[in-house]
Chains A and B, each alone.
Chain A
Amino acid sequence: MKSNTFLRHVRESFKSLGRNGWMTFASASAVTVTLILVGVFFAIMMNLNHMASSIESDVEIRVYIDRTASEEDATALEEKIAALPKVDSVTFSGKDEELDSLISSLGEEGEAFKLFQQDNPLNDVYVVQAKTPSDTIPLAEEIDEMEFTANVNYGQGTVENLFSTINFGRNIGIILIVGLLFTAMFLISNTIKITIVSRRREIEIMRLVGATNSFIRWPFFLEGLWLGLLGSVIPVISVGTAYYYFYDYVSPKLQGHFIQLLEVTPFIYQVGAILIILGAIIGVWGSLMSVRKFLKI
């Protein structure tokens, strides 16, 4: 495409935004409202996800090594576990460490266990982390079948519940966001359609005098792009600002808890970028869908 043709398209797209003043406003507002909703949902979702991940990553598999296993057997077992594709890390925790941590975790009552320091009845333990938390259960089962494992413990029962709750929450969130995006697209494509119907004649004449379809489409493509970008300005600013203050207010209250909100930066930049991109996609898609039916492609 010649550069002056492109400039013409840009000029035309801006002219058309001005000419269709109220329709431009309506379309951009539709984008704005939807993107604010999407932005809020997205921020909530990402934070829930973040919390879920930090809970999930606390899940570990404790492999109790058979007391009859020799040192070589134990090393072989470690290598075998580490070689599994789902495994992220294997950490050895000797029975003395285990006892120490048991004693300290029980506080004063733990003192009684100090007697066992002479003849430690505990097992050596491999602490295994799965690469993906949801692989924990199958991984544990796999390890359980290996030789020289006395017992494999990952918080059976509790972990299954935790995972299914987290997954349920995630799926609901994804469904809501996808639904919201579809609503937005149809809303916007309908609003833009009205502005395009009023320009039917323009398209008709362009076709009549021999403008190619892509030539006709370009200004509409750009117009949709501007609408989407225009509509994403307020959501980006408002969601970003709101999150900033929300974080300021809530974060101190979560001090010391193991759940944390996502840091303001880079999170608000990420959300901003996503909203801008979504706005652009929605605008362009809506616009092109509407112009399509006049082009007889």
Chain B
Amino acid sequence: MLEMKNVYKKYKNGVTATNGIDVKIDQGEFVYIVGPSGAGKSTFIKMMYREEKPTSGTITLNGIDMGSLKNSKVPLIRRNIGVVFQDFKLLPKLNVYENVAYTLEVIEENPKNIKKKVMDTLDLVGLKHKVRMFPDELSGGEQQRVSIARSIVNQPKLVIADEPTGNLDPDTSWEIMNIFEEINTRGTTVIMATHNKTIVNTMKHRVIAIESGRIVRDEQRGDYGYEI
């Protein structure tokens, strides 16, 4: 579903973030992106949802060339991609239900369907009983679940997560990982950048290691491979 060919990204300040990346990710895969800080993981990921454009090379997502995609068409692409961040990025003034429903509202989903979809998704992440609470009344793990719910409520084919467990304690991290696992078994592609060695080594999946903007290792059921 996602294919990158010879992708270079050089920022205006002269920093080269990715230095010729070739990769192919199929529908339904679960992929870890690992590598030291500043290796280009974030840029790699941002290019997948067209937050950044490659300087050269091509990125295609489900047959659509992301590099030549018009800015006005970007929102439509985003509707097929769920994105989860380390810092959750929830709207503090909206409660759990509203935060998740927000995704559907802004893409002008029929209001009749919103409630059912939101409640089903909150059920999946195990937060059905906290729909009226606000983000600051929730623990970090719960907030991350809300953010995951928000990213998948529209049933995207691809979920991208940038260090989703970066701010969470080990137990909570496992709960979050189980949710991603669940999403993946339902057929959604999951691409996750992470620094969590234990998770990568225990919950075995494809591992892509990036160093200095290049893929240095790409293994099915691989290991984290770095000492921290």
Contact = CB atoms under 8 A, between A and B. Distances in A.
A205 B76 CA distance: 14
Contacts of B195: none
Interface in B71-89: 71-72, 74-79, 83, 89
B78 A209 contact: yes
Interface string A181-216: 000000000000000000001101111111111011
B144 interface: no
A5 interface: yes
Contacts of A213: 72, 75
B106 A215 contact: yes
Given A201-B91, A204-B89, A296-B71, A210 B79 contact: yes
Interface of B: 49, 71-72, 74-79, 83, 89, 91, 93, 102-103, 105-108, 111, 150-151, 154
B150 A209 contact: yes
Given A4-B111, A208-B83, A209-B103, A201 B89 contact: yes
Nearest to B150: A209
Interface of A: 2, 4-5, 8, 19, 201-202, 204-213, 215-216, 296-297
A216 B49 CA distance: 19
Which of A202, A210, A212 counts the most chain B CB atoms within 10 A? Answer: A210
Given A19-B93, A205-B91, A210 B71 contact: no
Nearest to B111: A4
Contacts of B154: 209-210
Contacts of B102: 205, 209
Given A209-B78, A210-B75, A213-B75, A8 B89 contact: no
5 closest Cβ pairs, A-B complex: A211-B106, A210-B78, A210-B79, A209-B103, A210-B75
Contacts of B78: 207-210
B74 to A, nearest CB: 8
28 contacts: A5-B108, A201-B89, A201-B91, A204-B89, A205-B89, A205-B91, A206-B106, A207-B75, A207-B78, A208-B49, A208-B89, A209-B102, A209-B106, A209-B151, A210-B77, A210-B78, A210-B107, A210-B154, A211-B75, A211-B107, A212-B72, A212-B76, A213-B72, A215-B75, A215-B106, A216-B106, A296-B71, A297-B71
A219 B108 CA distance: 14
A205 to B, nearest CB: 6
Nearest to A199: B91
A285 B63 CA distance: 39
Contacts of A5: 108
A216 B156 CA distance: 21
A47 B64 CA distance: 63
A210 B79 CA distance: 5
